Chain A
Amino acid sequence: MAPLTIVEKILSRKAGAAVRAGDFVTVPVDALMIHDSNASTTIDAFHSFDSARVMPGTDVIMVMDHFAPCPTEAAANMHIKMRRFASRHHIKLYEEGTGVGHQLMCEQGHVFPGEIAVGTDSHSCTYGALNALGTGIGSTEAAGVLARRKMWFRAPETIRVVWHGALPTGVTAKDVALKTVQEIGLRRAIYKVIEFGGELISRLPVEDRMTICNMGVEVGAKAAIMPPDDILLQWIKKRPGQHRVFEAAEADPGCSYSLVLEMDAGLLEPLAACPPMVNLVEPARRLKGKPVNQVVVGSCTNGRAGDFRAVAGVLAGRKVAPGVRLILVPASQAVLAELLADGTMKTLVQAGGQLIPPGCGPCAGYHGGLVGNKEVVVATTNRNFTGRMGSREAELYLASPLTAAAAALSGMITDPREVM
């Protein structure tokens, strides 16, 4: 058989025949995540099928992360609708405050290597860190998966991004993600997959790999994916929850890539994506002095324990600058428990941080820290589009937890190497 990319291999196994880029296939989906912002429309679409029975075989979860806790009556009513649906169809429901869907899919054991996992959220590409084909779908498509378990795919071309070298001091996986977006741009990967590799990736913990895959959709990609290795397999083994048989997928030598990019991590410095697009990336030092009103640490991109520990490392024994709001939103309850147990959260709250419940928080402007006119935000989140976090006159800068910590400490955008 001709050599296959990781994603061609995953689709081929599901289809039971060799699938190459450009082929259309209809295959079963292993896992599905439905979150509260798109659950109501998914439920409505599902009810418009004749057979209102969820087809068994897909690991389905419903998650209340976008409205957690509810900011409006309408949101509360949408949550009631979700609870009824989940209960009626015996679907695993993650309540308000449990965490962000993507984090729960990975952390609580709903995604396994070599699988196809979809979600009603564009950042479902995060699952690629676990060697799964993860991609975002709409509500009607999700209803189709509930009713039929299957989905059609056009097998995508793959862009291989090889990260060589090691991260210099002050540089994190988020900077790798931002640099990747800058290099590829907003459109070059539309309908393609980004397959990451190289010695940098192979040394990163799974949590950091999730940060990088999470931003794959910002270049238009259908998915971002990484090869399996011992670090991943050990991580999967230690995870709580269910276990199921899986078959990790590696690229065959000599498989066909539409583009190969070789990147050197050793040349990286702390970065920030400037408003209003994720590819407008600049070194943080070049933005030095930009006054900041709010700093947000969290999200499916950077809301894990290591991210908060990095912030605590900068802020320990120090105070957030006067006039700056530091919002802390752990990606899950499990992450929060870890941060409470090791004292990280105490350090951050003593420094002046305000803790909000695990979930999406203000990332997409749903609740918990929207901003007003002309305000400037540094966030560890994944999108900085006009109006995303509140006022359309606000400016959103995306950066690593370290760069966010430096902004919280100094009250302005700052290269974190100056304050570490």
Chain B
Amino acid sequence: MALKTLLQGKAHKFGDDITTDYIIAGKHRSKAENVLDLRPYVFNEIRPGFAGSVAQGDILVAGHNFGMGSSREHAATLIRACGIEAVLAKSFARIFYRNAINIGLPVIECDTDIISDGDLLTVDLRQGMVRNLTGGREISFTPIPASLRSILEAGGLVNYLKQIK
């Protein structure tokens, strides 16, 4: 699957220090063998009904330290499975960041203060630009480092490692 580099979608805005327990609490893991069946529980602890509120292509927006805590990759997998195609945050917890890249979900560090919940955004991964179509503002960001972008462009770590074998 080729990486989509031009994204457009509605912002779902969260605050600082969103833990992976908030994204998908551990207590739900044993409810289904296939993690994708856990979609209804995404953000259940802090924003119940999240999965139903996302349209394919929407963008998750957060403050500092998004994805802190557990190494559970299904935090990233499930955000994407809900329809989210990129996550913008002021900063990321390292394991979440790495997991997102490894499954091919773009994660972008940028100033998210000028984005409100529900704003319509476009994200240009190549140019490193977020446009808030609702608020009429632009935010530039440092494009994802080349080595990580090649993992993203391959569609994730598995495909990337297959290519370099």
Contact = CB atoms under 8 A, between A and B. Distances in A.
Interface string A15-43: 00000000010000000000001101100
B25 A122 contact: no
Nearest to A276: B19
Interface residues of A, number: 55
B42 to A, nearest CB: 13
A122 B71 contact: yes
Interface string A370-393: 100000000000010111101010
A65 B46 CA distance: 27
Contact of A365 (B22, B26, B69, B76): B26
Counting chain B residues whose Cβ lies within 8 A of the other chain, the interface size class is 35 or more
B72 A138 contact: yes
B17 interface: yes
Given A41-B35, A70-B30, A48 B158 contact: yes
Interface stretch (A4-12, A142-150, A297-305): A142-150
Contact of B29 (A66, A121, A220, A390): A66
Interface string B28-45: 011111010000000011
A72 B37 CA distance: 15
A357 to B, nearest CB: 15
B154 to A, nearest CB: 12
Nearest to B96: A138
Interface string A156-186: 0000000000000000000000000000001
A236 B46 CA distance: 44
A119, A122, A191, A390: residue with the most chain B Cβ atoms closer than 10 Å: A122
Contacts of B33: 40, 74, 77-78, 81
A136 interface: yes
Nearest to B77: A41
A77 B34 CA distance: 11
Contacts, number: 142
B93 interface: yes
A387 B27 contact: yes
A365 B72 CA distance: 14
Interface stretch (B6-14, B97-105, B119-127, B130-138): B97-105
B94 interface: yes
A140 B70 contact: no
A190 interface: yes
A48 B35 CA distance: 16
B161 A144 contact: yes
Contacts of A72: 30-31
B112 to A, nearest CB: 15
Nearest to A148: B161
Given A66-B26, A77-B33, A137-B98, A387 B45 contact: yes
A388 B71 contact: no
A366 interface: yes
A191 B27 contact: no
Contact of B157 (A38, A144, A217): A144
A50 interface: yes
B70 A364 contact: yes
A141 interface: yes
B161 A147 contact: yes
Contact of B162 (A49, A71, A138, A186): A49
B21 A385 contact: yes
Contacts of B103: 138, 140
A141 B103 CA distance: 9
B157 A141 contact: yes
Interface in A262-307: 277
Interface string A115-158: 00001111010000000000011111101100110001000000
A222 interface: yes
A70 to B, nearest CB: 7
Contacts of B19: 383, 385
B147 interface: yes
B36 to A, nearest CB: 10
B95 interface: yes
Interface of A: 24, 37-38, 40-41, 45, 48-50, 66-67, 70-72, 74-75, 77-78, 81, 119-122, 124, 136-141, 143-144, 147-148, 152, 186-187, 190-191, 217, 220, 222, 277, 364-367, 370, 383, 385-388, 390, 392
Given A122-B70, A124-B71, 11 more contacts: A48-B158, A49-B162, A186-B17, A191-B94, A220-B65, A364-B27, A364-B70, A366-B27, A387-B21, A387-B22, A387-B45
Interface of B: 17, 19, 21-22, 25-27, 29-33, 35, 44-46, 64-65, 68-74, 76-77, 91-95, 98-99, 102-103, 147, 156-158, 161-162, 165
14 contacts: A49-B158, A49-B162, A66-B30, A74-B30, A77-B33, A138-B76, A138-B98, A138-B102, A139-B73, A140-B157, A144-B102, A144-B158, A148-B161, A388-B21
Q: Which 7 A-B pairs have the closest CB atoms?
A: A138-B73, A365-B27, A364-B26, A136-B71, A138-B99, A387-B45, A75-B30
